[in-house]
Chain A
Amino acid sequence: MNILKKLALGAGMAALLATTAMADGMVVGFSQIGSESGWRAAETSVTKQEAEKRGIDLKFADAQQKQENQIKAIRGFIAQGVDAILVAPVVATGWDEVLGEAKDAKIPVILLDRGIDGSPDLYLTSVASDQVHEGAVAAGWLVQAVGDKPCNVVELEGTVGSSPAINRKKGFDDEIAKHANFKITRSQTGDFTRSKGKEVMEGFIKAEDGGKSICAVYAHSDDMMVGAIQAMKDAGLKPGTDILTVSIDAVPDLFTAMAAGEANATVELTPNMAGPAFEALAAFKKDGTLPAKAIITESKLYTQKDDPAGEASRRKSLGY
């Protein structure tokens, strides 16, 4: 514990020393969860880029998946008297006290990509994607691409019970239900992973007459779709032509598949949560404009027309 405290103190001192004399820039603290996934790493690097673009001095703290580290980092930011704090909360509960301290110090707090259970007074706004909408955008593309032909869709779900799996399924299924020519014939969990996505798709292909009766695949994550694409290729099918694909996340490997014509569309879960946060912050600092309590990021659709090869290399450099 003692060592941890010393380390935290040391990190705080280092951060103080690193503060450069920025004449007009704000100083913003960012408490990130960690780097457990490619998307999270990309969010960190995009946040740093967005801060640099605006001349904001960003103080970054990696919590390594621990709430106690985040609380320590936030207290450190308050002690340094930063102009604002960004937090990607690792869990939903237990924030009342430390965010109360930030409020008393009149430092606005913005939540990134996850919410908290607590009074909305504790933070200025939250920036996150709408997972139900992501599913609906995916369905919208499929409906438009297929038109009036009858179409049997198979669905690769995320981990059973997880909120992205529930919401992305709801958004997609509700939209598809509005069109009579579409039918979701099979739906199974692929646990958001490549290998399970491949295994589940293999099963679907066998069960659906060698894949001949499947018109499209919808996966709750690009990683599962990358696995499913391999399963289709192994079965002698042409993904992207014989069977349409649409998935969510927009990771580089899916763009690589798209560039090869093996995937059709993906809905982006943007790693740029910080951009809208900084804009809201700038408006608030300028004339006290209060932003909406929940800022929803755009769920942008990417297809083969959107320079997939370029997107793949651009995204790889973000740390996906």
Chain B
Amino acid sequence: MKLRVQRLITPQSIALVAVLVFNWVLFPGFFSVEWKDGRLFGSLIDVLNRGAPVAILAIGMTAVIATKGVDLSVGAVMAIAGAVAATSVEGGLSVWAAVPLALVAGLACGLWNGVLVAVLDIQPIIATLVIMVAGRGIAQLITQGFIVTFTDPALIYIGTGSFAGLPMTVLIAAALLIVTTLLVRRTALGLLIEAVGVNRSAARFAGISALSLLLLVYVFSGFCAAIAGVIVAADIHGADANNAGLWLELDAILAVVIGGTSLLGGRFSIPMSVLGALIIQAMNTGILVSGFPPEFNLIVKAGIIIAILILQSPVASRLFKRA
């Protein structure tokens, strides 16, 4: 039992608690959660709700980074998925057709990335840069340059609805987290991914199909990005091809890094990446309620991130152990 408690005390959880306490000092109402219109309402819920898209991206990104790759295209894939979902429902399709179509678009983008990386052996940062650049253009083609707004209640429900008091977005992210974690930790899948990330050739010689695993992680990342894209579009009742998911690939990578997964591949933890995403969002929400002038936003964020990264550097963790 003692061991279990100790496992929960990581630099990440300390950082999250520290950021939350800091927010509470700046804004005393930060932890107050009330029941309003059949759902929970408060800043903490906002952190979960607003953090969900990046958390979902981070789940896919963790798998990719564990194979020593990176997926820069997720922000643009979000824009494509949102554009597909919005234009389909506006074109008269039901939400049951529009959302799967959007997810298929994400899978297709992921497959493209996977083929470039796994089959053609192009470096992941370059391979995924293609859709990062072109994807927003594709999304603009789909929306024809407009912000496509929709009023379909079922689609909007995905972004703003709530079930059992919790926002749908949080439930979707939580379900994805649980399913993915079980899948990689209760089967050999996680181990195989780590093996490919540590040494692709060695993994292949050991009989692991590195090719299909690489394809799988990029397709999965595209799938996660598509879910996040549908959520973001549903949230604002419209697909904004220019701005949906803009720079979120960097937030997702940051979340994974804060979560302690090495960019050099190998050992990874999906729950820790989600924790990383929550730390980032806790900072963002904290800045909004604190009343800092906007010119300080980026400096405050950068300062906190440096502190977290120092906290989990090898030097600091050695000091930790000694103490």
Chain A residues within 8 Å of B, Cβ to Cβ: 35-38, 41, 157, 160, 186-189, 191, 193-195, 198-200, 202-204, 206-207, 209, 223, 226-227, 230, 234-236, 253, 320
- B297 near A253 (CB under 8 angstroms)? no
Shortest distance in angstroms between B255's beta carbon and chain A's nearest beta carbon? 17
B311 within 8 A of A: no
| Interface residue from A194, A204, A227 paired with B288 (Cβ < 8 Å) | A204
Instruction: Give Cα A198–Cα B235 distance, bound, in whole angstroms.
Output: 9
Residues in chain A near residue B294, CB distance under 8 A: 157, 160, 187-189
- A187 near B288 (CB under 8 angstroms)? no
Instruction: Give Cα A223–Cα B50 distance, bound, in whole angstroms.
Output: 19
Query: In the complex, which of the residues B29, B42, B291 has the most CB atoms of chain A within 10 Å of its own CB atom?
Result: B291
- B297 near A194 (CB under 8 angstroms)? no
Known: A202-B46, A227-B236. 10 other contacts (CB 8 A): A38-B145, A193-B246, A194-B238, A195-B240, A202-B50, A206-B46, A207-B27, A230-B160, A235-B36, A320-B146
A206 nearest in chain B by CB position: B43
- A203 near B36 (CB under 8 angstroms)? no
- B147 near A207 (CB under 8 angstroms)? no
Chain B residues within 8 Å of A, Cβ to Cβ: 27, 29, 36-37, 41-43, 46, 50, 145-147, 149, 160, 232, 235-238, 240, 242-244, 246, 284-285, 287-291, 293-295, 297
- B288 near A203 (CB under 8 angstroms)? yes
User: A189-B294, A230-B237, A235-B41 in contact; A195/B243 too (CB < 8 A)?
Assistant: yes
B232 nearest in chain A by CB position: A195
- A206 near B147 (CB under 8 angstroms)? no
Can you name 5 A-B residue pairings with CB atoms under 8 Å?
Answer: A188-B294, A189-B294, A193-B240, A195-B244, A209-B29
- B149 near A253 (CB under 8 angstroms)? yes
B289 nearest in chain A by CB position: A207
B27 nearest in chain A by CB position: A207
- A203 near B46 (CB under 8 angstroms)? yes
Residues in chain A near residue B244, CB distance under 8 A: 195
In the A-B complex, the 6 residue pairs with the smallest Cβ-Cβ separation, listed nearest first, are: A203-B288, A189-B294, A207-B289, A193-B243, A194-B236, A206-B43
B156 nearest in chain A by CB position: A230
Residues in chain A near residue B285, CB distance under 8 A: 203
Instruction: Give Cα A164–Cα B284 distance, bound, in whole angstroms.
Output: 24
- A160 near B295 (CB under 8 angstroms)? yes
A202 nearest in chain B by CB position: B46
Shortest distance in angstroms between A21's beta carbon and chain B's nearest beta carbon? 34
- A38 near B236 (CB under 8 angstroms)? no
- A187 near B293 (CB under 8 angstroms)? yes
B44 nearest in chain A by CB position: A206
Query: In the complex, which of the residues A41, A195, A253 has the most CB atoms of chain B within 10 Å of its own CB atom?
Result: A195
User: A160-B297, A195-B235, A195-B240 in contact; A223/B288 too (CB < 8 A)?
Assistant: no
Instruction: Give Cα A195–Cα B160 distance, bound, in whole angstroms.
Output: 12
Instruction: Give Cα A221–Cα B238 distance, bound, in whole angstroms.
Output: 16
Residues in chain A near residue B240, CB distance under 8 A: 193-195
- A206 near B145 (CB under 8 angstroms)? no
User: A207-B29, A223-B147 in contact; A199/B50 too (CB < 8 A)?
Assistant: yes
Instruction: Give Cα A227–Cα B294 distance, bound, in whole angstroms.
Output: 18
Query: In the complex, which of the residues A160, A186, A198, A206 has the most CB atoms of chain B within 10 Å of its own CB atom?
Result: A206
| Interface residue from A35, A160, A226, A230 paired with B145 (Cβ < 8 Å) | A35
Instruction: Give Cα A156–Cα B258 distance, bound, in whole angstroms.
Output: 30
- A200 near B243 (CB under 8 angstroms)? no
| Interface residue from B29, B41, B146, B246 paired with A38 (Cβ < 8 Å) | B146
Shortest distance in angstroms between B44's beta carbon and chain A's nearest beta carbon? 10
Instruction: Give Cα A206–Cα B42 distance, bound, in whole angstroms.
Output: 6
Residues in chain A near residue B295, CB distance under 8 A: 160
A201 nearest in chain B by CB position: B288
Residues in chain B near residue A236, CB distance under 8 A: 36-37
Residues in chain B near residue A209, CB distance under 8 A: 29
User: A195-B240, A199-B50 in contact; A188/B288 too (CB < 8 A)?
Assistant: yes
Shortest distance in angstroms between B237's beta carbon and chain A's nearest beta carbon? 7
Residues in chain B near residue A226, CB distance under 8 A: 236
Shortest distance in angstroms between B293's beta carbon and chain A's nearest beta carbon? 7
